[in-house]
Amino acid sequence: QSALTQPASVSGSPGQSITISCTGTNSDVGGYNLVSWYQQFPGKAPKLMIYESTKRPSGVSNRFSASRSGNTASLTISGLQAEDEADYYCCSYATIDISVFGTGTKVTVL
Amino acid sequence: QVQLQQSGPGLVKPSQTLSLTCDISGDSVSRTSAAWSWIRQSPSRGLEWLGRTFYMSRWYNDYAPSVKGRITINSDTSRNQFSLQLNSVTPEDTAVYYCVRGDKRFVNTFDFWGRGTMVTVSS
B121 contacts B90 by C-beta, under 8 angstroms: yes
| Phi/psi-derived region of residue A52, left when phi > 0, alpha when psi is between -120 and 50, beta in every other case | left
The two counts, helices (H) then strands (E), for chain A are 0, 9
CA distance linking residue B4 with residue B25, whole number of Å: 7
Which residues of chain B are within 8 Å of residue A46 when distances are taken between CB atoms?
Answer: 47, 110, 113
Phi, psi dihedrals of residue A15, rounded to the nearest 5°:
90, -20
Chain B residues whose beta carbon lies within 8 Å of the beta carbon of residue A92: 108
Q: Is B49 on the interface with A (CB under 8 A)?
A: yes
Distance (Å) of CA B96 to CA A65, A91, B2, B91, B121: 29, 18, 21, 13, 11
> What contacts A83, CB < 8 A, 6 or more positions away?
none
Residue A2 Cα, gap to closest chain B Cα (Å): 10
Answer whether A7's CB lies under 8 Å from A90's CB. Answer: no
| A5 to chain B: closest CA residue | B46
A99 closest CB neighbour out of B46, B108, B114: B108
pLDDT per residue of chain B (123 residues) written in tens, 0 to 9: 999 999 999 999 999 999 999 999 999 999 999 999 999 999 999 999 999 999 999 999 999 999 999 999 999 999 999 999 999 999 999 999 999 999 988 888 999 999 999 999 999
Q: Is A79 left (phi over 0), alpha (psi -120 to 50) or beta?
A: left
The predicted pLDDT at position A47 comes to 98
Distance from CA of B95 to the nearest CA of A (A): 13
pLDDT class of A57 with cuts at 50, 70, 90: very high
Q: What is the pLDDT at residue A33?
A: 87
Name the residue among A46, A91, A104 with its Cβ closest to that of B108: A91
